[in-house]
Amino acid sequence: MADSTSATSNSSAILVPEILAGSFFANFRDSNNANFALKVIDKDSLTKKKLSQVKMEGEILSMLDHPLLPTLYAHLEVSHYSCLLIDYCPNGDLHSVLRKQPGNRLPVQAVKFFAAEVLVALEYLHALGVVYRDLKPENILLREDGHIMLSDFDLCFKADVVPTYDRRVHSKRMAGSMRKGGDHCFGPFSRRGVVEEEVVEEEFVAEPTAALSRSCVGTHEYLAPELLSGKGHGNGVDWWAFGVLIYELLYGTTPFKGGSKESTLRNIASSKHVNFHVMEGEDGKGMEEARDLIEKLLVKDPRQRLGCTKGATDIKRHRFF
């Protein structure tokens, strides 16, 4: 856990809005003019299930050390209150940003930026064996410098993870010498001035592929099909939600949204493919790449879904990024 001295001394509460039943946030500013958020949870008002989720959030926060995730500066248990002192994000969340945009959607380049940062944050969580299970625009906060911070870790679950290296061999075309004969340090000689070099790449992969839970939690528009079945789910639910997120950022709505919660869940369970709308003035190539990535992430069978085997390593290789 980070040293809490500078965060807690000479601090004053300047804002205390109530946001959820049983909890509220206070914004603190210390003597160095740094802002912090204090999340206070009234444990007496919570069910046994919610209490276990509060405990899980504290455990997850204490594990984190990443610029795109919150730092836990202090965790205090006072009477029946649990208090978490974390980073404060003054720019709200991505949901609020979307609501202010024409059509509730972002340009492709902006989507690439936010998607890339979310991907890196999820990669780190999965490397720790943490399945997030609550990805949505409301939980993507914006720091003062414009970078993201994922929030709300009460729905997470932890699993074992075995790090490996993914070895990939491919050819790389390079400009070569035009002279005839002689050896070339990069590979076979080519009269057209192009040589092919065999490149071996090894990338670190730490994905909780054996993770398994049977509890159905999350926001209904972002739930993966295997979550609805009740037969068990794992790391793949985060990559499904990642596909839904990219779709919503681009199109201003989620891909399976119906007229009610029930119809949305039916669409998630029964839809054979993802429907895409033609957007006026859209970036042709960028949108084509985005649609291809979304389709690979929103595969019903988690065994075939992009990211479920090699995690963010496979997703980062997609041409959208």
Residues 6+ away with beta carbon under 8 Å from 300:
225
In tens digits, the chain (321 residues) has pLDDT values of 444 444 554 444 444 444 444 556 677 676 677 789 999 999 998 899 999 999 999 999 999 999 999 999 999 998 888 999 999 999 999 999 999 999 999 999 999 999 999 999 999 999 999 999 999 999 999 999 999 999 999 999 999 987 787 776 666 666 655 444 444 454 554 555 666 777 767 777 888 888 888 888 889 999 999 999 888 999 999 999 999 999 999 999 999 999 999 999 999 999 989 999 877 766 688 999 999 999 999 999 999 999 999 999 999 999 999
- Listed in sequence order, the DSSP H helices in 230-283 are 236-251, 261-270
201/286 same-domain check: no
186/133 same-domain check: no
The string of pLDDT tens digits covering residues 211-262 is 888 888 889 999 999 999 888 999 999 999 999 999 999 999 999 999 999 9
284/154 same-domain check: yes
The string of pLDDT tens digits covering residues 57-95 is 999 999 999 999 999 999 999 888 899 999 999 999 999
101/249 same-domain check: yes
Q: Which of 30, 44, 93, 134 is catalytic?
A: 134
Domain at 218, CATH number = 1.10.510.10
* pLDDT at residue 12, as a whole number: 46
* pLDDT at residue 175, as a whole number: 64
76/190 same-domain check: no
Asked if residue 28 lies in contact with residue 85, where contact means CB atoms within 8 angstroms, the answer is: yes
* Dihedral Cα 283, 289, 291, 295, nearest 10 deg: 180
Domain-ending residue, one of 87, 120, 141: 87
Confirm whether 115 is domain-assigned: yes
76/215 same-domain check: no
- Listed in sequence order, the DSSP H helices in the chain are 5-8, 48-63, 94-99, 108-127, 225-229, 236-251, 261-270, 284-297, 312-316
* pLDDT at residue 208, as a whole number: 87
* pLDDT at residue 32, as a whole number: 73
108/245 same-domain check: yes
Confirm whether 152 is domain-assigned: yes
215/113 same-domain check: yes
52/109 same-domain check: no
Q: Which domain holds residue 172?
A: 164-205
Domain at 77, CATH number = 3.30.200.20
Confirm whether 114 is domain-assigned: yes
Confirm whether 321 is domain-assigned: no
Confirm whether 70 is domain-assigned: yes
Domain-ending residue, one of 52, 87, 122: 87
Count how many domains the chain has: 3
Confirm whether 46 is domain-assigned: yes
Active site residue 134: yes
Q: In the chain, at which residue ranges do the beta strands (DSSP E only) sit?
A: 12-15, 18-20, 23-29, 35-42, 74-78, 81-87, 130-131, 140-142, 148-150, 157-158, 164-175, 194-205
125/34 same-domain check: no
133/267 same-domain check: yes
Domain-ending residue, one of 56, 87, 118: 87
Confirm whether 306 is domain-assigned: yes
128/33 same-domain check: no
CA 72-76-78 angle, 5° bins: 160
Confirm whether 176 is domain-assigned: yes
Asked if residue 51 lies in contact with residue 58, where contact means CB atoms within 8 angstroms, the answer is: no
